[in-house]
Structures are given as C-alpha cells and as structure tokens.
Amino acid sequence: MTKLINTILKSTLFGIFFVSLVACQPQEQSTQKSIDQDGSEAILATESQKEVNLYSARKEALIKPLLKQFSEDTGIKVNVISSKADALLKRIQSEGNNSPADVLLTTDAGRLYRAKSAGILTAIDSEVINTNVPSQYLDEDNMWVGLSIRVRPIMVTDKGASLGIDSYEDLAKPELGKSICIRSSGNIYNQSLVAGMLNTVDETAVESWAQGVVANMARSPQGGDRDQVRAAAAGQCSVIVANTYYLASMLADQSNETDYQAASKLKVIWPNQTDRGAHVNISGAGILKTAPNKENGLKLIEFLSSKKAQELYANVNFEYPVMENIELNPILSAWGEFKADQTNLSVLGENNARAVMVMDRAGWK
C-alpha cells in the first residue's frame, strides 16, 4: 500500500514539475481576457495593451526588420511564433476562444483564403489600409490585406533565350526539349501558378499543359527556387520558373561569388504580357476574430502597409510592394515593368486542391 502511495506521490511530483514549467515561460503573455462585456472583471489585461501577438508563416528573419521598426515607432511589443501556415491555422482553431493570436501573417493568398473559409478572421475596417493598398490586393470582404507581391516569372539563360518563350503556355511546347528546371508540385508557388491558370484555362487543357511541362523537364523536380537558378547556370537546363526575390537576393550578395555568378547568367522573361499577365501571389495578413489585442493588431497591419514598411519589403526582401509609387531596388527596376495577372487572389485558394490533383495526374512529382 505504501508503494501505491509512493507512486502517487511521485506522479504528483511529476505533475508539479510540469506545472512549474508553465510558470517559467520565457515570455509570459497575459492571455487573460476580461470576463464580461459589462466589465465586471475587466482589468486583468492592462499589460497586454502594449503588445501584439503574431502567428507568422513568414520566416522570422524576413519580418524582423519590419517588426523592429514597428516596435520602435509605436512602443508596442510584438510576440512572434513562426511556423507553417496550415499548422498555425490548426493551432488557432484548437485554441478557440482563448487563442492569444492577434494577427495571422501568411506567404500566400491561398492560406489567407483558407483562414477566411475557416471563419477565424474578422473584417478589417481601416481608412489607412484602403488608401495604402490597391483594391485588387484586398479581400472583397476585408478579411485580409495583401502586403507584398511575389512574382513567379520565367527565367532563361542565353541558350533558353533563343527558344522564343513568352508565356507559361510555351513551357509545354515540344520543341523545348529537356530544358526546364522547376521545383516540386508540392511547393505552394507552383500550386498557386497552376491554380491561377485554372481560372482562365479549361482544366483538361491545364492538365495537358502540365504533361507537356513534365515532358520538358531536364531533371525530376527537386530543391528550392535558388537551386533551379544554380542548375540553369551550371548548364543542366536553360529555362526555369522561380520567384524573383530569390534571384534578386542572389544578385544582391556579391560576397557569395558562386551564387552571384549563377544568378547573373539568368534573364527574367515576364510571361503572358499580351493576355492575363505574369503570375503573382501575395504575402498578407488578417486579424483574428478571437484576438485579445485587436487594436494593436490593426496598428501592426496598418504599419506593414505604410510607405516605410513597403520600402523595406522592396529593399530588404526584394519583393514588390503593394503600395504604388514606391521606389524599387535597382536590381528589381532593372528587370523593367510588367503586367501582373489581375485575377482575384481568392481564386488561388479556391483552386488549390484542384491544381494539386491536376499536377498529380500529369505526373508532376
């Protein structure tokens, strides 16, 4: 019997151990919310007035300069958890009404669409944002705001330039031979590209296009976007599809000699300039319905849409700003202006599963 008691005692000790873990959180945030709307116990959260909780699908290093600037300007502390978008979405849903999350930041429109469909976002009503961000980068119900534009054009080496490619459709032309390097269809940027095509082109046509692309691949899809640049420069292929900011950041860092040389060998082709335009996606943000610090969340998004932040997007991350008339980094402006696909970005989310299925059927690994 004493053994049993002993075991129970020990289990209790374990329990206390675990609870003490909670107590020594590195950043104890005040998630306690006011209990009643009428304010009977409403003053638990004074400290939280100076902070905002960010669930970010963007890498922390990429948004850090922006967040630092925001905290300096407003005195509001930003708490961050960076992770994969779908996992964050699931986390917010599980946490329910007690979720500490104020703002969800994602790297693609598809995930914003998913968050909206899951019913976890609240409408954003801000004069500042409406002035800063053109309407095509805003959700029609104001559930999310586009903050930076990520373009996915075609890039070619000198050899690829002679192939006469000027649209995504051309990538499926049999005369290209085994000349294309592109990453896996598991990648969200490729999924969005195909999802965008599904909006204007019929599904069977997209599928045979995808088959054509697969037939033209110089190697089975692998690696990231920078790897496609490197492979093209090494001569494995002459045509690649990659997001511009990868190429730009390789060009910007001349101390990495090999990467700089590789990137210098590629030229950007803006595809479909005579019809729908180059495929674009956005990174963007929404405010959560259950956000404990909604006002600060709004302030953060307003800041991210401001001129100061938009310039950082353009110069630190080499993305295209959503705000018009921002001076571009010279690397970006050297590629010239382009016509962007004006498709409603929610479509990318709506069509995503279909796009994956099309690529699965086409044998796009």
In terms of DSSP H, where are the helices of the chain? Answer: 2-23, 60-74, 85-95, 109-117, 127-132, 158-161, 188-200, 203-215, 225-234, 244-252, 257-264, 294-304, 307-315, 330-334, 346-350, 352-362
CB of 156 to another protein, least distance (A): 16
Of 188, 210, 269, 323, the one binding another protein by CB under 8 A: 188
Of residues 123 and 234, the one with the C-beta less far from another protein: 234
Site string for another protein, 237-276 (x = CB under 8 A): ---------x--------xx-x---x--------------
Q: What part of residues 55-114 is at the interface with another protein (CB under 8 A)?
A: 59-62, 79-84, 86-88, 90-91, 94-100, 114
Residues 140-179 that bind another protein (CB under 8 A): none
Which C-beta is closer to another protein: that of 35 or that of 123?
Answer: 35
Q: Which of residues 197-236 bind another protein (CB under 8 A)?
A: 219-227, 230-231, 233-236
Which three-class secondary structure state does DSSP give residue 144? coil
The reply to whether 183 sits near another protein by the rule CB under 8 A is yes
- Reference 147, options 309, 287, 34; nearest CA is 309
In SS3 terms, 150-182 reads as EECCEEECHHHHCCCCCCHHHHHCHHHCCCEEC
Number of residues forming the site for another protein (CB under 8 A): 81
Q: How far is the CB of 293 from another protein (least distance, A)?
A: 12
Measure the N-to-C terminal CA separation of the chain; round to a whole number of Å: 61
Q: In the set 48, 132, 191, 296, which binds another protein (CB under 8 A)?
A: 191
- Report in angstroms how near the CB of residue 39 gets to another protein at its nearest: 13
Cβ within 8 Å of residue 118, ≥6 positions away: 89, 93
CA distance 71 to 69: 6
Helix (H, G, I), strand (E, B) or coil at 350: helix
Q: Which is nearer to another protein, 241 or 323 (CB)?
A: 241
CB of 340 to another protein, least distance (A): 24
Smallest distance from the beta carbon of 186 to another protein, in angstroms? 5
Residue 313 C-beta: closest distance to another protein, Å = 15
